[in-house]
Amino acid sequence: MAGIIELENVSLSAQNRRVVKGVTHQFEEGKTTALVGPSGCGKSTLLKLSAGLLVPSGGEVRFRGKNISTMNRKENLAFRREGAVVFQDSALWANQSLFQMLELPLRIHFPGMSKAERERRIEEVTAEVGYRKELSIRPSLLSMGEQKLIAFARALVCRPSLLFLDEWTESLDDRAAQRLVSIVKRMKNAGATIIFVSHNIHLMLDMADYYLMILGGQLFLRLTKEQLEDEDLRRYIERGINA
């Protein structure tokens, strides 16, 4: 079966270094996949390649069979609307208010949506992630955790069915993290495809159907949930994550 996102021999070189080396993998639709591995092994880069945000130096990334690099504007918009990204560093725009930032994806993907409907959607999504302060401020006034909540709200505002999440619970307190985990679980149960990076072994065991261990930019090991239930393999993974 073809995956919703397919990586075929994908590499990325930056400043004369090969950060990702010949990764081939199909992300199955409706499944949750965790990318694990030590810091600097290339997880964020691989996630961005999978989300079409970086152009590979070699190989191909496909979304529903279409090479992302050669998509036309309409195909690209459809991909952007279906897939949403939460970046490791939140990546909010310093010169925009939180409201403007949440509104932009709606303006792009739902040009016919009324202002009142946009406001309603933004209110709904901020309540869902548990952000309670005003939206007229800029991101520099927020804590790292609050920035993550807004980054999450921005990703959810167009109701995606494909999520790319990079270390998405790491800067949050337990309660906030739990809230986001329940949102993602609900989406997973409704059939969404989730691809996430995390160092939290409990989160992986709880949520992921597949585990990809990345070492030195290469896909080192691919495991299913059932395989990870094996004690020895799990210890191996834990050592890899904490290496």
Region label for 189, one of left (φ > 0), alpha (ψ between -120 and 50) or beta (otherwise): alpha
Residue nearest to Mg ion (CB): 44
Q: How many residues does the chain have?
A: 243
SS3 68: helix
| For Mg ion, the closer CB: 88 or 90 | 88
What does the per-residue mask of binding to ligand ADP show for 148-187, with x meaning CB under 6 A? ----------------------------------------
- Dihedral sign, Cα of residue 105, residue 110, residue 111, residue 114: negative
What does the per-residue mask of binding to ligand ADP show for 30-49, with x meaning CB under 6 A? -------x-xxxxxxx----
The arrangement of strands across the sheet holding 5-14 comes to 17-27, 5-14, 58-63, 66-67
Separation of alpha carbons 241 and 234, rounded Å? 11
**Is residue 15 within the footprint of ligand ADP (CB under 6 A)?**
yes
**Is residue 19 within the footprint of ligand ADP (CB under 6 A)?**
yes
With CB under 6 A as the contact rule, which of the stretches 9-17, 71-79, 96-104, 220-228 interacts with ligand ADP?
Answer: 9-17
- From candidates 44, 169, 171, 193, binder to Mg ion by CB under 5 A: 44
**Is residue 70 within the footprint of ligand ADP (CB under 6 A)?**
no
| For ligand ADP, the closer CB: 48 or 121 | 48
As given in the structure block, the two tokens for residue 111 are: 């040009």
- From candidates 14, 77, 127, 141, binder to ligand ADP by CB under 6 A: 14
**Is residue 56 within the footprint of ligand ADP (CB under 6 A)?**
no
Which residues, other chains included, contact 58 with Cβ-Cβ below 8 Å and sequence gap of 6+?
A: 9, 10, 11, 22
Q: Are 33 and 208 in contact (CB under 8 A)?
A: yes
Least distance from Mg ion to the Cβ atom of residue 226, Å: 27
Q: CB under 5 to 8 A by kind: which of ligand ADP, Mg ion, none does 175 bind?
A: none
Separation of alpha carbons 56 and 161, rounded Å? 24
- Residues engaged in binding ligand ADP (CB under 6 A): 14-15, 17, 19, 37, 39-45
Residues that bind Mg ion (CB under 5 A): 44, 88
